[in-house]
Structure 1
């Protein structure tokens, strides 16, 4: 299939993903049409199919790229010597990484229900890998007697849910600096798991 005259795949492809990301985050996946995405990018609706087979593939790709980039960034953190330092590092990383990507975070959590079962399974496996990193920290801390946690899986999900709350209310230039917010959340997380 011929590409639209004047289009460049290395430019148009990312623009399509960026437009879809913004529209899905603003209106929800189900409410956005391929025609709306095309209009946002400034191409004919049929031209989108040169870059993606369908809207489902576009949603999956956005989520998959987000999770892959998250896992890669987390893996690049400096190793820590103990569970408490590792947990502190996780808290700071999670808040700062996700605050820079509000649309990606919104879609990653709110649009899972719109994935096909196969795509859902793949994204869920990547999410589980990230959650398992935190759960391993909590298990290590429990073994070392630093953390008092009855169920590390529930604690993992509770900590992530607490940290995700920052994305809904924090605004740069508000009453608290990002450093102060991060410290406050670290204090809450530390107290919630400490023995």
Structure 2
């Protein structure tokens, strides 16, 4: 919807997304109303519809934004030019480092997929597959070169991503281990899991 000149859409739109992100992560998508989101932003509930058509569109936009950011950041890494073992280590460290800075986005992206309507689900799932395909490609290259011993590249891909994403459920800055130590430990586990 077009905004009128002098409006604050460049301020209010991001505030609405930030409020929705925090509320969805804290309470779950199903438990959050548009009225609650409006209350967090300090606008009337009806004003939200100047920025989004409905709560479902807002959820899909948050997930799309997260996946677009992830794919853009990953595109800067030229893993295809690296040996499979180096590419896999880079992927492991990248995944942990990128996701640890975005706990709300990660929670929503993984836990609220079930809340997406079919068309939105298909779009987000296609973006997720792009990211998974890179890791699967690294694993296939490594297996073909005799560097990795894996039974099924797709299943290994999903298992590795699930394991790496799990760091978000327990890691806290200032804890017993630094992020670099956690990355090193996880890299060791992944390396052993693929028989490298």
Q: Name the TM-score, length of structure 1 as normaliser.
A: 0.96
List, as ranges, runs of 4+ consecutive aligned residues in structure 1 with deviation greater than 4 Å. Answer: 1-4
- Structure-2 separation of matches of 1:131 and 1:124: 10
**3-state SS of 1:97 partner:** helix
The answer on 1:142 being equivalent to 2:126 is: no
- Structure-2 separation of matches of 1:38 and 1:129: 34
Structure 2: where are the runs of 5+ without partners? none
**3-state SS of 1:165 partner:** helix
Please name the residue that 1:123 is paired with.
124
- Structure-2 separation of matches of 1:81 and 1:24: 38
- Structure-2 separation of matches of 1:3 and 1:191: 54
- Structure-2 separation of matches of 1:57 and 1:24: 13
Please name the residue that 2:10 is paired with.
10
Alpha-carbon spacing, 1:18–1:137, altered in 2? closer, same or farther (3 Å): same
Alpha-carbon deviation of 1:2? Answer: 9.5
Give runs of aligned pairs for residues 48-87 of structure 1, distance below 5 A.
48-79=48-79, 80-87=81-88
Measured against aligned partners, the alpha-carbon deviations of 1:104-149 in whole angstroms (never above 9, x if no partner) come to: 0000011111111000000000001100100000000000000000
- Structure-2 separation of matches of 1:177 and 1:107: 25
Q: Name the TM-score, length of structure 2 as normaliser.
A: 0.95
Check conservation: 1:3, 1:47, Cα contact below 8 A.
no
Alpha-carbon deviation of 1:174? Answer: 0.5
- Structure-1 separation of matches of 2:47 and 2:58: 14
Please name the residue that 1:189 is paired with.
190
**3-state SS of 1:128 partner:** helix
Please name the residue that 1:30 is paired with.
30
CA RMSD of aligned residues (A): 1.7
Structure 1: where are the runs of 5+ without partners? none
The answer on 1:153 being equivalent to 2:172 is: no
